[in-house]
């Protein structure tokens, strides 16, 4: 696998694959349309990282790995096609890497993949197992999101959004949940469910969180075990994290870790960035960032915030992730956001370069909120911060939650307050 170029390496998923290739001794180069912290982690390992997509590739490139967000019309992909250079989707390359490990643990589902993957990796490593991992997010305190380890265990989240999880060689498969999110990008609900069954077809163990969907799809499998009891640890805030913790501990047990040691290790789990992350707290004014971008995730986030801060005024600034979700889930988003005391909306973030027709969130979500929403901010984060900050600080006890999986995180530094 020498001479590998990674397109879209500013994203945590592709940059993680580049790190795994480096760990395996490959020559690596990378590019993205803009600079980022992810590229800096590669530069720290002496990788040539190019900003912008050029009409050429580094000499010696034998394989190009690309994010599903990168179209065939991309200049570097066109160059690869014209010169007979092999091109591999991110998810398919992950499957190729996984083949080199003795035991592959795949974490799948519509929600909870990143946190649960990180939990499993944390438990294994805390209990003396030099496990490799591929996490699709930034784990607090970890230098990078992917690491090879000693070649025995490899825990990775796998992607249903492009169907690539179907090719992952799972020995242990975790199915966190199965909802219709991404069904539009893989050919419908049946195709989406098929990718889950294909992922699990050769797994020796399938751990499913108990639900109507997982029972319907995996109820007839002798390899499937169903978990229905959340892990009630005070360190795990929110019902969804107690579910994630229960699944992670069960996976660690299958790797030979005693349950009591796995639970104890989970008490020191550092958490994943943008998952109920406290960005600043001064007195009773709290700034939270969260990645929720599906109604189930948004409900879990709001439940956790109300649990953790029951007496605080709750302000929510929500950025939908992809126009498709505004069209599909707009009324559900509105119903959930109505639980906040103050609601702000931004334009949707287009996750891929081609993200369907623009959908006005004021009509797609705002019109269905049970009480008038308080603020619409478009795309200007500086203006949003200037408008929202005084409202946040005027309340004696107030949580401001910045919610969304897109570039809404850019507003955080403009809102942070210090003692």
Query: Read out DSSP for 93-151?
Result: HHHHHHTTSSEEEEEESSSSHHHHHHHHHHHHHHTT---EEE-SSPBTT-S-SEE-TTS
Q: What is the pLDDT of residue 259?
A: 97
Name the β-bridge partners of 314: 399
Q: Which two tokens stand for residue 289?
A: 């960032």
Question: Average per-residue pLDDT in the chain?
Answer: 90
Over residues 282-304, the mean pLDDT reads 91
CA dist., res. 403 & res. 148, Å (int):
32
pLDDT bracket for residue 181 (50, 70, 90): low
pLDDT bracket for residue 354 (50, 70, 90): very low
CATH class of domain segment(s) 277-415: alpha beta
Question: Tens of pLDDT along 16-55?
Answer: 999 999 999 999 999 998 898 899 999 999 999 999 888 9
- 10 Å CB burial of residue 358 (0-12, 13-18, 19+) is exposed
**Helical ranges in 189-316 per DSSP H:** 189-200, 212-218, 239-254, 259-266, 295-308
Q: What is the pLDDT of residue 166?
A: 86
Maximum CA extent, the chain: 64
How many CB atoms sit inside 10 A of residue 219's CB?
A: 11
CA dist., res. 308 & res. 94, Å (int):
37
- 10 Å CB burial of residue 83 (0-12, 13-18, 19+) is exposed
Q: What is the pLDDT of residue 323?
A: 83
Question: Tens of pLDDT along 131-177?
Answer: 999 999 889 999 899 999 999 999 999 987 776 888 899 999 999 98
Poorest-pLDDT segment among 149-153, 207-211, 246-250, 359-363: 359-363
pLDDT bracket for residue 357 (50, 70, 90): low
Name the β-bridge partners of 65: 6, 88
> What is the SS3 assignment for 160?
coil
46 torsion bin: left (phi>0), alpha (psi -120 to 50), beta (else): left
Place of tokens 């409900």: 299
Q: What is the pLDDT of residue 185?
A: 47
Rounded (5°) CA angle 300-304-306 = 120
CA dist., res. 155 & res. 118, Å (int):
8
> What is the SS3 assignment for 90?
helix
Q: Which two tokens stand for residue 252?
A: 């660690």
Q: What is the pLDDT of residue 189?
A: 72
CA dist., res. 187 & res. 77, Å (int):
24
Q: What is the pLDDT of residue 139?
A: 93
289 contact partners, CB below 8 Å, separation of at least 6? 274, 277, 279, 401, 402, 403, 409, 412
Do the beta carbons of residue 334 and residue 296 sit within 8 Å? no
- Residue 269's nearest CA partner among 393, 139, 399, 157 is 139
Question: Tens of pLDDT along 33-44?
Answer: 889 889 999 999
Do the beta carbons of residue 110 and residue 240 sit within 8 Å? no
3-state DSSP percent of the chain in helix, strand and coil, to 5: 40, 20, 40
Instruction: Please state, for a pLDDT cut of 90, what percent of the chain lies above it.
Output: 62
Among 3.40.50.720, 1.10.443.10, 1.10.760.10, 3.30.70.3040, name the CATH number for the domain at 4-90.
3.40.50.720
Q: Could you tell me the fold of the domain covering 99-266?
A: 3.40.1190
Report domain extents, the chain: 4-90, 99-266, 277-415
């Amino acid at each position: 696998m020498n001479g590998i170029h990674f397109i879209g390496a500013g994203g945590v998923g592709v940059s993680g694959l580049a790190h795994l290739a480096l760990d395996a001794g490959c020559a690596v180069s990378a590019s993205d349309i803009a600079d980022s912290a992810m590229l800096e982690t590669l530069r720290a390992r002496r990788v040539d990282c190019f900003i912008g997509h050029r009409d050429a590739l580094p000499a010696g490139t034998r394989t190009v790995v690309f994010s599903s967000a990168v179209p065939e019309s991309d200049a570097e992909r066109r160059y690869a096609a014209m010169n007979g250079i092999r091109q591999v989707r991110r998810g398919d390359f992950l499957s190729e890497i996984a083949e080199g490990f003795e035991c592959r643990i795949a974490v799948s589902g519509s929600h909870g993949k990143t946190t649960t993957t990180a939990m499993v990796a944390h438990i294994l490593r805390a209990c003396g197992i030099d496990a490799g991992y591929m996490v699709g997010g930034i784990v607090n305190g970890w230098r990078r999101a992917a690491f090879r380890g000693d070649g025995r265990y490899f825990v990775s989240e796998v992607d249903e959004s492009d169907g690539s999880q179907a090719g992952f060689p799972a020995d242990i498969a975790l199915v966190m949940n199965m909802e219709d999110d991404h069904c539009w990008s893989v050919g419908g609900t049946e195709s989406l469910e098929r990718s889950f069954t294909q992922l699990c077809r050769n797994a020796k163990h399938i751990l499913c969180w108990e639900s109507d969907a997982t029972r319907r799809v995996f109820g007839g499998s002798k390899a499937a075990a169903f978990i229905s009891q959340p892990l009630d640890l005070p360190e795990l805030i929110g019902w969804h994290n107690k579910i994630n913790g229960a699944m992670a501990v069960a996976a660690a047990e299958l790797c030979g870790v005693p349950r009591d040691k796995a639970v104890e290790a989970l008490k020191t789990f550092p958490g994943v960035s943008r998952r109920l992350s406290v960005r600043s707290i001064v007195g009773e004014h709290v700034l939270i960032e969260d990645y929720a971008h599906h109604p189930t995730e948004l409900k879990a986030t709001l439940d956790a915030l109300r649990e953790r801060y029951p007496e605080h005024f709750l302000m929510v600034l929500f950025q939908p992730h992809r126009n498709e979700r505004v069209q599909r889930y707009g009324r559900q988003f509105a119903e959930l956001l109505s639980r906040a005391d103050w609601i702000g909306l931004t334009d949707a973030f287009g996750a891929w370069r081609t993200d369907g027709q623009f959908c006005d969130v004021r009509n797609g979500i705002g019109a269905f909120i049970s009480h008038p929403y308080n603020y619409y901010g478009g795309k200007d984060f500086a203006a949003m911060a200037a408008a929202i900050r005084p409202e946040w600080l005027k309340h004696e006890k107030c949580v401001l939650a910045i919610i969304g999986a897109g570039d809404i995180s850019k507003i955080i530094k403009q809102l942070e307050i210090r003692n």
